[in-house]
Amino acid sequence: AFDYLDTNRDGTIDRTEYEEAYTKGWDANNDGKITLEEFAPRAKEHFGKKPTSV
């Protein structure tokens, strides 16, 4: 998993690599923003439950 995130193979996971990996697939329309409609299904899949409001 570490090697997958360390895309430039420098032995560290920098902010850009982390953010790209974390948001990959969450931004369904690739507009650089994650809406609730994009977030909810992935959050349920990732966290195992529906997201709750704060």
Instruction: Using pLDDT thresholds of 50, 70 and 90, give the confidence band for residue 41.
Output: confident
Mean pLDDT of 45-52: 64
Say yes or no to pLDDT of 45 above 90.
no
Alpha carbon distance 49, 52 (integer Å): 9
Instruction: Using pLDDT thresholds of 50, 70 and 90, give the confidence band for residue 50.
Output: low
Say yes or no to pLDDT of 49 above 80.
no
Instruction: Count the domains in the chain.
Output: 1
Domain-embedded: residue 53: no
Alpha carbon distance 12, 27 (integer Å): 24
pTM equals 0.49
Burial code of 2-41, b = ≥16 C-beta within 10 A, e = fewer?
A: eeeebeeeeeebeeebeeeeeeeeeeeeeeeebeeebeee
Say yes or no to pLDDT of 46 above 90.
no
Domain-embedded: residue 52: no
Domain residues for 21? Answer: 2-47
Domain-embedded: residue 29: yes
